[in-house]
């Protein structure tokens, strides 16, 4: 399945984007995409490190997209610079959908002007492309 449709399919199946109200959400993003556990997205099942172990897998996450690798109960989706992706649903900026952003290689990491952000209307995981991991000069 192409990355650009992942979010739409998840929402179609579940009625919402993977919910998350925590600070960063990299583990919630992992659970929502991989189907490995759901305790970070409103359920009660912890991750085991096995995609599809407790739900539908919406996207195959390559090893360089995860930490730790191989995945375990704390698996998180990382950007090409090896920082956690930040995910919030519903979003603060995109209240009808979600916020997805990377601090990328911002120096300092708190400088939001240097962050890479999901654009309004962009599909979930449009940032999570194989190309962005090959050429992290996004």
| Helix and strand counts by DSSP (H, E) for the chain | 3, 5
DSSP 101: E
Extents of the domains making up the chain: 3-134
Spatial distance between the Cα atoms of 36 and 52, rounded to a whole number of angstroms? 5
Opening angle at CA 76, ends 50 and 21, nearest 5: 115
Write out the H or E segment, with its range, that includes residue 132: helix 130-134
Tell me if residue 102 falls in helix, strand or coil: strand
Spatial distance between the Cα atoms of 107 and 76, rounded to a whole number of angstroms? 22
Q: How far is CA 53 from CA 10, 14, 49, 63, 81, in A?
A: 16, 17, 8, 17, 28
pTM of the model as a whole: 0.80
Class of domain 3-134: alpha beta
Spatial contact of 115 and 1, defined as CB atoms under 8 Å apart: no
Give 39-74 pLDDT, tens digit per residue: 999 889 999 999 999 999 998 899 999 999 999 999
Spatial contact of 38 and 45, defined as CB atoms under 8 Å apart: yes
Give the per-residue pLDDT at 129: 57
Give 72-123 pLDDT, tens digit per residue: 999 999 988 888 888 888 888 888 888 888 877 777 777 777 777 764 445 5
């Amino acid at each position: 399945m192409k990355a650009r449709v992942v979010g739409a399919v998840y929402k179609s199946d579940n009625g919402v984007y993977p919910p998350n109200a925590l600070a960063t959400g990299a583990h919630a993003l992992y659970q929502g995409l991989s189907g490995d556990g759901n305790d970070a997205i409103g359920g009660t099942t912890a991750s085991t490190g096995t995609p599809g172990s407790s739900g539908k897998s919406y996207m195959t996450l390559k090893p360089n997209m995860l930490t730790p690798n191989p995945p375990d109960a704390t698996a998180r989706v990382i950007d090409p610079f090896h920082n956690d992706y930040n995910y919030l649903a519903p979003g603060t900026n995109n209240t009808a959908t979600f916020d997805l952003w990377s601090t990328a290689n911002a120096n300092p990491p708190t400088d939001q002007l240097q962050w890479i952000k999901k654009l309004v209307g962009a599909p979930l995981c449009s940032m999570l492309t194989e190309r962005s991991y090959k050429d992290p000069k996004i």
